[in-house]
Amino acid sequence: MNATLQAPGLDLTGSRIVWEARDQEPHYGSTFTFTPTNSGSQWIEAEAQWPDGRRIFAVTDGSATNTLPTVTVAATTATASEQGPVPGVFTFTRTGSTTAPLTINYQFSGTASKWTDYRRAQGDMPETISMPAGASSATLTIYPVVDNIPEGPQTAILTLSPNAAYNLGQPKSATVTIVETPL
């Protein structure tokens, strides 16, 4: 981002200009050039002070984007059942370029245990899913473990984990509820 300060009717010659911006160290000079460290909302402030003590202040805002895909997750089959069993499904979606494969990191939480109450179709592998080049979505299926133990509804909450390869969009978490009775 490049910024300059203009004050119609005022000569900035001889003034000291200090710049501040989101996630940036203060900078002195007639112009300010920086690369945002985060995408999203940005702000820039400038204050000019003349030798005689006069000051002016300006602020503006904007937005910075990057070329990374944005990833979201939804529970596309939000209720699973031990009877059947009927699996639950999480769907990962990315926007932006699909020219490269993308590995998405996530974590499970909730009241259900992935070792005793459900299993992934791929077994107990690391909590990642790979989206191949050309794909804008991928699914993860969880299968309830039939245990014949009355325990009431339980939740499997999947939350996306940050990664330098993508932006986190909304929603970044989704819930599958596991019930014992048929749907």
Q: Hey, how many other C-beta atoms are within 10 angstroms of the C-beta on 21?
A: 20
Q: How would you label 24-58 residue by residue, b for 16+ Cβ within 10 Å and e otherwise?
A: beebeeeebebebeeeeebebbbbbeeeeeeeeee
Q: Which CATH superfamily is domain 2-64 in?
A: Immunoglobulins (2.60.40.10)
Q: Is this model's pTM higher than 0.85 or not?
A: no
C-alpha pair distances (Å), 115 with each of 13, 84, 152, 178: 70, 19, 17, 14
> What pLDDT, in 10s, does the model give residues 142-182?
988 888 788 889 999 999 999 989 988 999 999 999 998 76
The pairing of strands 31-33 and 2-4 is antiparallel
Domain boundaries, the chain: 2-64, 70-179
> What pLDDT, in 10s, does the model give residues 72-119?
999 999 999 988 889 999 999 999 889 999 999 999 999 988 767 777
Coil, strand or helix at 57: strand
Could you tell me the fold of the domain covering 70-179?
Immunoglobulin-like (2.60.40)
> What pLDDT, in 10s, does the model give residues 26-42?
999 999 998 887 777 88
2-64 and 70-179: same fold?
Answer: yes
Q: How would you label 148-175 residue by residue, b for 16+ Cβ within 10 Å and e otherwise?
A: eeeeeebebbbbbeebeebbbeeeebbb
